[in-house]
Amino acid sequence: MRAALGLGGRLLRAGGRRGLLSAGLTAVAVTVCTALLLFAVSANVAFAGRGDREAWRNPVPAKGRAVAVQAVHVDYVRDRRITVVELAALEPGAPPPPGLDRFPAPGEVWLSPALAELADELPADQLADRFAGRRGGTVGDEALVHPGELVAVRGWAPDSPVPAGKGADEPRGEVASTRISDFAGEPTPDAQGYRILALIASVLMAVPLLVFGGAAARLTVARRDQRLAALRLVGATPGQVVAMTAAEAVITAFAGAVAGTLLYVLLIPALTGIEIAGGSWFAADLWPGVPYTLAVLAAVPLLVGLSAVIGLRRVVVGPLGVAKRETPPGMRFVRVAVLLAVLAVVPTLSVGSGGGVIAVVLGLAFLSINLAGPWVVGLIGRITAGTARGPVRLLAGRRLVDDPRAAWRTVSGVALTGFVAGFVVLLNPSADLLGEADASRLRVSIPAARADAVAAEARERLAAAGVRAGTEVTGGGGEGGGKVLVVALGVREAGAPGKAEAGEKAGQGEKTDARVDAPVDAPVDAPVDAALVDRARTALDGLVPGRRATSTADDDRFGRLLIGDIGTGTIVVLTVSFLVAVVSAGITAVSSVLDRRQTYALLRLAGTPLKVLDRARRAETLIPLAVMGGGSIAVGLFCALPFAITGLDAGGLATLLACVLLGFAGVVGAGAVSAPVLRSVTENPAPRPD
């Protein structure tokens, strides 16, 4: 092995300028691959980290002796969510919650840095008054989902109503009082949902990366196969040839992998800016950790070496195989049959199939597109060559038939991006699903017994805060006889909520006539802005212990966030696959020119216009690109059908179209890189195989 490594290294150095160029291209390809692969791995680690940091706010009831009571409420300021954790110690030795250096004493309030900043920034009657009380300290990063998260932790006496009170129905994210023995908690269902989405996204990103890495590996081999065939001819054993090639590929790939890791680390600060689930990331989130990094650093060169060995099989089997360039055996139809078999499974999937199964089927669909690709490219080539009238299409078509795998490598990136685009475009729900939300009507559930008194106090508080609003008490009957106080902001004096639907939604029951001294449908005559809403919220804070005033817009907030996040995720995945596509297109285009430099040069000497060669080279990429790109999008759409939430909407269609156009433009642009290479290799008046 050491001998092989030494020889491989020497082979690398002795390869000359062109040899170094191709090794450099491989290294660049591996660098990009490694960086993106680390990103895909980190995405999973990052979401797992968020889930773990959030777990303490999702308490598990104590099995043994309870030491504290915990409740979690959700409040809003501006358009942002505040998580309010209420804590009361049941005994003196209660452990401090994560992010706090001690258990909060009754009456104490701890704010996260972002919340503290916001509380200072906004007028006190919009936010700070809600968290009046002794400031205990700052909630540390280890207890925050993301750096900008708004979190408050409040300490209570065990017998006070807030932590002890039991809510009838908890809105999303709220947790009723729970007796706990520690702060281990468990990841929330939302966090787990995000982890599944992250897993799907990373599969979508990783598969084209692996394919591309393999292509990069073969690039080293392509440059070497003549020389290696020559080595075989002078008597090197197949084992020696394999070892040397593998060693050369591994050395190159390792250098690329190290560079890729560095590149990724350099990119982390920029990547932390990607907002998902309402916030950006801690830099530490996006560092995959030493074990994963080492695994990637080991796996990438190994995979590249393996791929190189597979690529070399032909040389090893018989030295003349490559040296003489026989007609390659035709692709087998089995490749397409595999794709069809995988696609046949797709309709049996559903949202309920489980993340693992879906990820596996997706990965398989992806891989089988990659398997079927060369076959289809070969078919396209036969058709193109068969129908060609001029030299350009003839050259392009014959080339596709000759080496469909190489041609596929050039377009596979964009084709697979097409698959991703087709897939995610159907999954992207549009915000229209949520309907209109009304931020101007706040609702608080109030005990039925004291409804009138509470409503009166609410009016007093609002008046004191200078908030114009109408109030109305609705609901009652079911669910323990709870009633809902509806506050219509911006309405002169007290007025009833105008729209019947608003009342219905708010009251979750039949609308009562407990209207409070105001004309029906009083017009909203004062502008309702975010500041007013926050003043009203702050005024109503603590009206009923443990209850906050929320609007239907608040109810939709999570849905909107999720829709936005899926959109962001789509863009991230598409950007990654797109980068892979363009880099791989550029590299394969250059390598295909390098591979055939002698023939190109001699053709040019004999008077073949460079333009014809260049157009043939372009057609050789564009024809399969058009067919395969379209085909992959169709397959992607098909695979997404079982999970489709809505039909194609305009935004999704625009994303898809933009993706296709960018992909084409990118590949054409990347292919243009090879034009100067073509020019330079054909300028040599005495071309020789090196």
Partner 1 sequence: MTSVVLEGYGLTKRFGPATALAGVGLAIGRGEAVAIMGPSGSGKSTLLHCLAGIMKPDEGEVRLLGQRVDTMGERERSALRRTRFGFVFQFGQLLPELPADENVALPLMLGGVSRRDAVRRAREWFGPLGLGGMEERRPGELSGGQAQRVAIARALVTRPAVVFADEPTGALDQTTGHDTMRLLVEATRGGDASLVVVTHDPQVARWCDRTVEVRDGRIMAGVDA
Q: Which helix (H) or strand (E) holds 489?
A: strand 483-489
Which ranges constitute the DSSP H helices of 318-450?
319-323, 334-345, 355-387, 391-402, 404-427
DSSP state of 279: B
Using CA atoms, how far apart are residues 384 and 378, in angstroms rounded to an integer?
10
Is the CB of 65 or the CB of 324 nearer to partner 1?
324
Name which of 108, 114, 191, 96 is nearest 156 in CA terms. 108
Give the residue, chosen from 117, 326, 479, 510, that forms a contact with partner 1 under the rule CB under 8 A: 326
Contact 146, 277 (CB under 8 A): yes
Is the CB of 306 or the CB of 394 nearer to partner 1?
394
Contact 76, 130 (CB under 8 A): no
Per-residue interface string for the shown chain with partner 1, residues 589-628, x marking contact by CB under 8 A: ---------xx--xxxxxxxxx-x----------------
Task: Name the minimum Å distance from CB 193 to partner 1.
Answer: 51
Using CA atoms, how far apart are residues 617 and 596, in angstroms rounded to an integer?
11
Token pair 């949520």 is found at 434
Binding flag, residue 318, partner 1 (CB under 8 A): no
Question: Binders of partner 1: how many residues, by CB under 8 A?
Answer: 31
Task: Name the minimum Å distance from CB 234 to partner 1.
Answer: 17
Give the residue, chosen from 165, 279, 391, 559, that forms a contact with partner 1 under the rule CB under 8 A: 391
Binding flag, residue 158, partner 1 (CB under 8 A): no
Is the CB of 108 or the CB of 595 nearer to partner 1?
595
Contact 307, 218 (CB under 8 A): yes
Q: Looking at residues 537 to 596 of the shown chain, list those that interact with partner 1 (rule: CB under 8 A).
A: none
Is the CB of 397 or the CB of 470 nearer to partner 1?
397
Binding flag, residue 685, partner 1 (CB under 8 A): yes
Contact 616, 392 (CB under 8 A): yes
DSSP per-residue letters across 361-372: HHHHHHHHHHHH
Task: Name the minimum Å distance from CB 385 to partner 1.
Answer: 9
Is the CB of 80 or the CB of 398 nearer to partner 1?
398
Task: Name the minimum Å distance from CB 258 to partner 1.
Answer: 37
Q: Looking at residues 445 to 474 of the shown chain, list those that interact with partner 1 (rule: CB under 8 A).
A: none
Stretch that binds partner 1, among 272-280, 318-326, 454-462, 517-525 (CB under 8 A): 318-326
Q: Looking at residues 186 to 245 of the shown chain, list those that interact with partner 1 (rule: CB under 8 A).
A: none
Is the CB of 356 or the CB of 609 nearer to partner 1?
609
Give the residue, chosen from 129, 402, 493, 649, that forms a contact with partner 1 under the rule CB under 8 A: 402
Is the CB of 340 or the CB of 605 nearer to partner 1?
605
Contact 262, 23 (CB under 8 A): no
Using CA atoms, how far apart are residues 610 and 52, in angstroms rounded to an integer?
60
Is the CB of 538 or the CB of 682 nearer to partner 1?
682
Task: Name the minimum Å distance from CB 625 to partner 1.
Answer: 19
Stretch that binds partner 1, among 185-193, 263-271, 360-368, 394-402 (CB under 8 A): 394-402
Q: Looking at residues 369 to 388 of the shown chain, list those that interact with partner 1 (rule: CB under 8 A).
A: 388
Binding flag, residue 390, partner 1 (CB under 8 A): yes
Task: Name the minimum Å distance from CB 690 to partner 1.
Answer: 12
Half-sphere exposure of 11 (CA within 13 A, CB side): 30
Neighbours of 436 (CB within 10 A): 8
Give the residue, chosen from 401, 446, 506, 579, that forms a contact with partner 1 under the rule CB under 8 A: 401
Name which of 61, 77, 62, 69 is nearest 151 in CA terms. 77
Is the CB of 125 or the CB of 620 nearer to partner 1?
620
Task: Name the minimum Å distance from CB 617 to partner 1.
Answer: 13
The two beta strands, 80-89 and 134-138, are unpaired
Strand ranges (E), 90-141: 108-111, 134-138
Neighbours of 537 (CB within 10 A): 25
Is the CB of 352 or the CB of 607 nearer to partner 1?
607
Using CA atoms, how far apart are residues 240 and 497, in angstroms rounded to an integer?
84
Q: Looking at residues 477 to 516 of the shown chain, list those that interact with partner 1 (rule: CB under 8 A).
A: none
The two beta strands, 441-446 and 483-489, are antiparallel
Per-residue interface string for the shown chain with partner 1, residues 253-282, x marking contact by CB under 8 A: ------------------------------
Instruction: Tell me the sheet residues that pair with 86.
Output: 71, 154
Is the CB of 321 or the CB of 559 nearer to partner 1?
321
Residue 173 in tokens: 């994210």
**Nearest 5 degrees, angle CA 676-CA 682-CA 687?**
140
Q: Which helix (H) or strand (E) holds 198?
A: helix 189-233
Q: Which residues bind partner 1 (CB under 8 A)?
A: 324-327, 388-391, 394-395, 398-399, 401-403, 598-599, 602-610, 612, 685-687, 689
